[in-house]
Amino acid sequence: MQQDVNLLRIPGPTPVPPSVERAIAQPMIGHLGSETSELIQRIKPRLKKIFGTEEDILFIAGSGTAGLETAAVNVANSGDEVLVLVSGSFGERFAQICESLDLTTHRLNFEWGSFIDVEKVKQFMQENNNIKAVFMTQCETSTGIQNPIAEVSEAVHETSDALVVVDGVSCVGGVVTEMDEWGVDVLVTGSQKAMMLPPGLTFIGVSERAWDVIDANESRRFYFDLRKYRDNLAKDTTPFTPAVSLLFGLDQALNLIEDEGLENVYERHTLMMNMTRAAMRALNIPLLTEDVHAAPTVTAVKPESFSADELRRVVKENFNLSLAGGQQQLSGKIFRIGHMGYCSPADVLQIISLIEIGLRELGEDITLGQGVQAAQEVYLQRNK
Ligand SMILES: Cc1ncc(COP(=O)(O)O)c(C=O)c1O
């Protein structure tokens, strides 16, 4: 029998907790009425904590990419020079967005699977003093790396007046994020990853420095004009009809995060990453990334003795377990396990045990339980 529940272990969209689903199903309310304002009032202070900022977090109906485009069109104007740090397919997307807005786009490329080299950024910024903004990806979902945002941001600020713009789509809410402390000027995330919601909302934090640039920027924008969202949010409303149902869901997702405690949420993600990595090592399957800067939300695995896509096919057919494949230059070469948002160590043990069966189905000579055992040991060592 095909299991009817999709075991969704891709790095987004991620499973939605039942209580969040129920919240989303509440009857519709008028978006200009007091109920929506009260909802926004409840949400506002709590989102700040997740971003690690004192600034209000703006939300726009749209996917993560809408948030990235919003960031770019608000901080720069056609012809402005910007730098994009590319360590995978989402860094590449940021560069494409900048190019589509006619920004003069410089790219610094880093090997896919490795992370942004701070020294190279510093050197580039010293040699190019017209850069208006530097764009980078916090967790590069295509490779499972978490870039050293605080260090890169410091290097940018030391060498220039450029704004630091960060794509945190696949990690904010699941990993320690300190927008203010790190000197991040614009931070973007999406609803369908660590935030435990369906797709359709993007969240944007903006620093005071960035507001000065945004206010003075004459770039052409309408729906994506952040000034409209800021001015409306100050009055607990939105410039356009918000995704009301997703805001109901967000209210409840924030309850869940607060009940668990943000620190515990972060620790759970690190634990799930460590369990997953230990399991793959015990099964002798190479990981794409080294431990340093590995992402707590997604793990990329680069098998040598079997096809990543065949394994994905077998576990999908047998168990309805969805793992992600590789993107662009990593297509067919890796598989990726999403362990973020509504995901627990118990889920990780399930994923690993199903992967082990998949490996045997593919004829791999592994000992059943070896990966699970390694993950169990990591679990038992937690907090020690
Ligand atoms: C790091 C990162 N940035 C941007 C996106 C794009 O988000 P969306 O597909 O919601 O537009 C994703 C989605 O996987 C992502 O992981």
Query: What pLDDT, on a 0 to 100 scale, did the predictor assign at position 1?
Result: 54
Task: Give mean pLDDT, residues 1-7.
Answer: 78
Q: Which of 20, 13, 8 is nearest to 246 (CA)?
A: 20
DSSP bridge partners of 322: 8
2: pLDDT strictly greater than 80: no
Whole-number percent of the chain with pLDDT over 90: 98
191: pLDDT strictly greater than 80: yes
What's the pLDDT band for 383 if we cut at 50, 70, 90? confident
Query: What pLDDT, on a 0 to 100 scale, did the predictor assign at position 384?
Result: 78
Residue 260: how many CB atoms within 10 A of its CB? Answer: 12
**C-beta of residue 263 within 8 angstroms of C-beta of residue 383:** no
**C-beta of residue 31 within 8 angstroms of C-beta of residue 152:** no
d(CA 377, CA 230): 48
Q: Is 170 in the pocket of ligand 1 (CB under 6 A)?
A: yes
| Pairing mode, strands 131-137 and 104-109 | unpaired
- Using alpha carbons only, give the angle 371, 374, 377 rounded to the nearest 5 degrees: 150
224: pLDDT strictly greater than 70: yes
d(CA 176, CA 324): 24
Angle at which helices 118-127 and 149-159 cross, to 10°: 20
CA dist 382 to 346, 350, 375, 378, Å?
14, 18, 11, 6
Task: Give mean pLDDT, residues 105-123.
Answer: 98
pLDDT tens-place string over residues 347-364: 999 999 999 999 999 999
In 261-344, which residue ranges form alpha helices assigned H by DSSP? 262-282, 308-319
Task: Give mean pLDDT, residues 289-309.
Answer: 98
Out of 170, 172, 187, give the residue to mutate to test ligand 1, the one with the largest number of ligand atoms within 8 Å of its CB.
170
Between 4 and 44, name the one with better pLDDT: 44
Omega into 345 within 30° of 0, i.e. cis?
no
Query: What pLDDT, on a 0 to 100 scale, did the predictor assign at position 3?
Result: 73
Q: For the chain, how far is it from start to end, CA to CA, in angstroms? A: 41
d(CA 233, CA 84): 30
Q: Is 169 in the pocket of ligand 1 (CB under 6 A)?
A: yes
Out of 8, 59, 65, give the residue to mutate to test ligand 1, the one with the largest number of ligand atoms within 8 Å of its CB.
65
Query: What pLDDT, on a 0 to 100 scale, did the predictor assign at position 282?
Result: 98
Q: Is 12 in the pocket of ligand 1 (CB under 6 A)?
A: yes
pLDDT tens-place string over residues 319-349: 999 999 999 999 999 999 999 999 999 999 9
Q: Which atom belonging to ligand 1 lies closest to the Cα atom of 140?
A: 1
pLDDT tens-place string over residues 121-168: 999 999 999 999 999 999 999 999 999 999 999 999 999 999 999 999
Task: Give mean pLDDT, residues 240-251.
Answer: 98
Query: What pLDDT, on a 0 to 100 scale, did the predictor assign at position 284?
Result: 98
Q: Is 137 in the pocket of ligand 1 (CB under 6 A)?
A: yes
Q: pTM higher than 0.85, yes or no?
A: yes
Whole-number percent of the chain with pLDDT over 70: 99
Mean of all residue pLDDT scores within the chain: 97
Query: What pLDDT, on a 0 to 100 scale, did the predictor assign at position 142?
Result: 98
Q: Which two tokens stand for residue 204?
A: 């944007």
d(CA 155, CA 20): 40
Residue 114: how many CB atoms within 10 A of its CB? Answer: 18
